[in-house]
């Protein structure tokens, strides 16, 4: 069997946690911070874990984890 290809964009954007969940950076913080509330900016720090529906899609693109 040939090796499966991993999507390059997924390698750069997502990481797997120890329990197999998908960790991703918070969305909405690249530009336009003036219009965002301080509460939004504060809550969007760091990383978050994807929901189950999105997690299934991302895991298809990273066959070896």
User: CA 47 to CA 44: how far, in whole Å?
Assistant: 8
Is 24 within 8 Å of 51 (Cβ atoms)? no
Intra-chain end-to-end CA distance of the chain, in Å = 18
Question: 3-class DSSP state for residue 21?
Answer: coil
**Tens of pLDDT, residues 13-49:** 999 999 999 999 999 999 999 999 999 999 999 999 9
Q: What is the CATH number of the domain that holds 47?
A: 4.10.410.60
Question: 3-class DSSP state for residue 4?
Answer: coil
Residue 48 lies in a domain: yes
pTM for this one? 0.81
Residue 1 lies in a domain: no
Return the pLDDT at 46.
96
**Tens of pLDDT, residues 48-62:** 999 999 999 999 999
Domain that holds residue 56: 8-61
* Distance, CA of 19 to chain centre: 15
């Amino acid at each position: 069997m040939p090796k499966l290809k991993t999507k390059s964009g997924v390698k750069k954007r997502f990481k797997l946690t120890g329990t197999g969940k998908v960790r991703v950076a918070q969305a909405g913080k690249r530009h336009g911070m003036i219009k965002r509330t301080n509460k939004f900016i504060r809550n969007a720090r760091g990383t978050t874990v994807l929901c189950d529906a999105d997690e299934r899609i991302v895991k298809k693109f990273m066959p070896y984890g």
